[in-house]
Amino acid sequence: MRKEHDFLGEKLVPDEVYYGVQTMRAKENFQITGAHLDPDFIKSMASVKKASCLTNLKTGRMDKTIGEAIIQAADEIMDGKMLDQFPLDPIQGGAGTSINMNMNEVLCNRALEILGYEKGRYDIISPNNHANMAQSTNDVFPTSIKVCLCHKAVALTDALERLAEGFEAKGKEFQDVLKMGRTHLQDAVPITLGEEMNAYASMVRRGMARIIRSLEALKDLNMGGTAVGTGLNAEPEYIKLFPYTLSEITGFRFETAPNLIDATNNTDCYADVSCALKVTALSLIKMANDIRLMASGPRCGLNEIKLEARQPGSSIMPGKVNPVIAEVLDQTCYQVIGNDLAISMAVENGQLELNVMEPVIAFNIFNSFRFLTNAVNTFNEKLLKTMKANREQCQYWVDHSVGVITALLPHIGYEKCAATAREAYTTGEPVREIILKKQLVTKEAMTRILSPYEMTHPGIAGGKDALAK
């Protein structure tokens, strides 16, 4: 063990760890979720610290030897090393101060080791004086969240792009599969299964665009604003140079916020991003539930599509298979919606110059990105790619539906269509047979009118010359 101290007193710290006394206190005080800090967030904060150290070197404030050692330590963390040195609970008091100091302690102790000193020699390299130079938790923590969200958005939008492409591939595969459209869960007019798949692709791409637009709110940083946004202890040159340095490190575009005080005490940008995730989740729920309905059965449901069996569906009913992949997407989306409520409450509960609820904002929005990315990938790989059309069942529903009568409106008029529909409902006889029996249109015209292309494209099905002579 080694002895370390802060202004509250001394604590023993295990020799082998890179964190220090302030991390030890936070470990004892905050045992809330049982979860760990998001690895992407740890790496993102290391990139912020690296950018800060580089900027301090450019302004001449940071000692070159110490700065280079801290940068080497930050690079190691960004490469995924020492992630086990961040043992804190994601939800904690202090607006993220403990997490910031955890990072500062690890950077300093690793830098000390690089330079040949023992851990804990903060008289040589200090977590507060060096790793936190020209910084405060109040600008480091939100900046790290923004960097992390940019990384996570890449993973999610890539997953959504693959999902959209998957639906477009199914749109082409199913373009000739005519089926009944339904409104109010009742028979409507025919549509192709391919058109439905293309509509889902369009919805997914709209969700991608919504998420990408929301990221624009993350580009403005308050780094250099330090404690309350006034820039105390940070040189003007540091404030000017930092966003360019961070942009070079991360590959994302960042700028200094027009108003550092505003950017320090308000967190509405995270609500923008979370809302984009929530709305996208709502659309995905609708899509997943459509899939569940179309796959219902297989004997006593719609049974229009076939899903690959992934696991037994019942502990008591032999042979039962459930649409588990669509169900898990639904449940994930519910969680994203619940996370958005927690984020909303935290965003509105910041007082005066700082929103101290940022840890719970970060925890929930990181989870939303991770959960949704995993669920979308799972849906695409384990459901969509192997989904098949039940062509025979789709045609059966079309042949036995009264909804196809709508296509005959321009040819025989509403009254004759209504009478035909009543007769079909009463007798159970198909609409096609009733129309031909009464010679309301020719057989050739009927074939044209009720063809998949004519039934599912703008215009009058069969043309205007389809009336029986």
State the catalytic residues.
314
Helical segments of 383-429, H only: 391-399, 409-427
Quick one: which H or E segment has residue 338?
helix 324-348
Of 23, 19, 25, give the one whose Cα is nearest residue 109: 19
Tokens of 212: 């990408």
Tokens of 25: 């206190």
Of 187, 180, 169, give the one whose Cα is nearest residue 304: 180
Of 96, 143, 174, give the one whose Cα is nearest residue 245: 143
Cα of 88 vs its chain's centroid, Å? 24
Quick one: which H or E segment has residue 180?
strand 178-183
Dist CA 439 CA 118 (whole Å): 98
Is residue 264 within 8 A of residue 353, CB to CB? The reply is yes
Quick one: which H or E segment has residue 22?
helix 21-29
According to DSSP, residue 117 is labeled P
Burial of 20 (0-12, 13-18, 19+ CB in 10 A): buried
Phi and psi for 64 in degrees, rounded to 5?
Answer: -65, -45
Helices (H) and strands (E) in the chain — how many of each?
A: 16, 8
